[in-house]
Amino acid sequence: MATQNSHRYCVIMCGGIGSRFWPYSRENCPKQFIDFLGTGRSLLQMSYDRILPIVPKENILVVTNEKYAPLIREQLPDLLPENILLEPARRNTAPCIAWAAFHIAAIDPAASMIVTPSDHLITRENIFEDCVRRGFEFVEKNDALLTLGITPVRPETGYGYIQVGQEAEPGILKVKTFTEKPNLELAKVFLETGEFFWNSGIFLWRASTIIDALRKHDSDLTVRFDRGASDFGTPREEAFIRENFASFPANSIDYAVMEKADNVYVECVNFGWNDLGTWSALHDNSPKNEQNNVAQNCKVLAYDSTGNIFAVRDSEKLVVAHGLKDYIVADAGDVLLICPKSEEQRIKQMVNDVKIAYLDKYL
């Protein structure tokens, strides 16, 4: 007899390249596959571990670029082989989520699903479990698209924001607006009003609900998926994706659906979330010594140096530094990056410059 949980699925999005963590995060091994926190588990493995108490193992899927299939199989050996959905091209989150929803709906028309990135840090996992279960219950009884909104603790300019309206039930509110990354002054206003939450990029809905929303708001995408409707959940699905996916329009799920739909809700949560999008975020969430320095996988002798993060791929390498304040020092063997944390937004441009100068050699 089927249980309620057997209709619950998890989709872990695992296709990013983590360019803001270059040179530690590389094309052949992006940040989600790295044990950044020294726990013995990569960010992907931690994402998998935290969903296991909520969703049956056989209902956990990973969507990734086909080049990362060996890494997925190595790091998640318990994952069913058929639950690894391999994208032949990077097309952003809307095609990724659409494929997962069509795939799941073909297998289980009654399915509900949580969609989560593979590279976020969540420290209060018991609270996370409670929030996800409540979210599942809400979307299973309502025609709703639910996002998890993080209670902001500072005027952050690196996150998108969600403005909330009327309460639908305790802790779950109707969404008024989505706002892209604001400047500092606007972020301060958002914090003061108490009406805005950080957009975590974690979503819950029934598979049928998100497919209906995609059909309504992004028909250019769904008309292409509908051409393969009879292939989903069959051995022909892989061939359909391989032949068509690269031509699908690239778009984020926020732009494609969430900012347009009128049945969007937010569950306001506080479970120690961080998207670990930058070296500074990693510094903030890592153990520090008395000089506020972080040493990732290396030995460090630092003199008159505070607020730095030292990350080295070769754990036997010794880093000796003098007079550094609030710097990133990241050594990946063939690349050494030294950059003030205050300038880390330029790392993406540095990666582009490296590509122009040296093609893919150092990427």
pLDDT digit string, tens, across residues 172-219? 999 999 888 888 899 899 998 989 999 999 999 999 999 999 999 999
Residue keyed to tokens 């989150």: 93
**pLDDT number for residue 154:** 87
Tens-digit pLDDT profile for residues 282-297: 998 889 999 999 998 8
Q: Would 3 be classed as within a structural domain?
A: no
CB atoms within 10 A of CB 248: 21
Coil, strand or helix at 356: helix
The last residue of a domain, from among 224, 239, 274: 274
Q: Would 1 be classed as within a structural domain?
A: no
Same domain assignment for residues 330 and 189: no
Mean pLDDT, the chain, as a whole number?
93
**pLDDT number for residue 38:** 80
> pTM for this structure?
0.93
Q: Would 231 be classed as within a structural domain?
A: yes
Same domain assignment for residues 314 and 269: no
The last residue of a domain, from among 255, 274, 293: 274
Same domain assignment for residues 224 and 171: yes
Local confidence band at 1 (pLDDT 50, 70, 90 cut-offs): very low
Coil, strand or helix at 16: coil
Same domain assignment for residues 290 and 229: no
**pLDDT number for residue 81:** 94
Residue keyed to tokens 């506020």: 292
Which residues have CB under 8 Å from 230's CB, separation 6+?
Answer: 236
Same domain assignment for residues 269 and 283: no
CATH at residue 223: 3.90.550.10
Q: Would 215 be classed as within a structural domain?
A: yes
Structural domain total, the chain: 2
Q: If we measure between CA atoms, which residue out of 223, 17, 13 comes closest to residue 100? A: 13
Tens-digit pLDDT profile for residues 247-270: 999 999 999 999 999 999 999 999
Same domain assignment for residues 18 and 139: yes
Provide φ and ψ at 183, rounded to 5°.
Answer: -75, 175
Same domain assignment for residues 261 and 283: no
Tens-digit pLDDT profile for residues 305-362: 999 999 998 878 999 999 999 999 999 999 999 999 999 989 999 999 999 999 999 9
Please give the Cα distance from 29 to 18 (Å, whole number).
9
Same domain assignment for residues 103 and 229: yes
The last residue of a domain, from among 243, 274, 305: 274
Q: Would 270 be classed as within a structural domain?
A: yes
Q: If we measure between CA atoms, which residue out of 213, 10, 257 comes closest to residue 115? A: 10
Tens-digit pLDDT profile for residues 35-64: 888 889 999 999 999 999 999 999 999 999
Same domain assignment for residues 89 and 205: yes
Same domain assignment for residues 270 and 306: no
Give me the domain span that covers residue 341. 279-358
Q: Would 2 be classed as within a structural domain?
A: no
**pLDDT number for residue 3:** 59
**Residues 273, 122: contact at Cβ < 8 Å?**
yes
**pLDDT number for residue 4:** 62
Same domain assignment for residues 103 and 85: yes
Packed helices 43-51 and 125-141: angle between N→C axes, nearest 10 degrees: 60
Write out the two tokens for 144: 């709703």
Please give the Cα distance from 338 to 284 (Å, whole number).
18
Q: Would 363 be classed as within a structural domain?
A: no
Query: First-to-last CA distance in the chain?
Result: 50
**pLDDT number for residue 313:** 83
Q: Would 330 be classed as within a structural domain?
A: yes
Please give the Cα distance from 35 to 274 (Å, whole number).
16
Same domain assignment for residues 54 and 202: yes
Local confidence band at 31 (pLDDT 50, 70, 90 cut-offs): very high
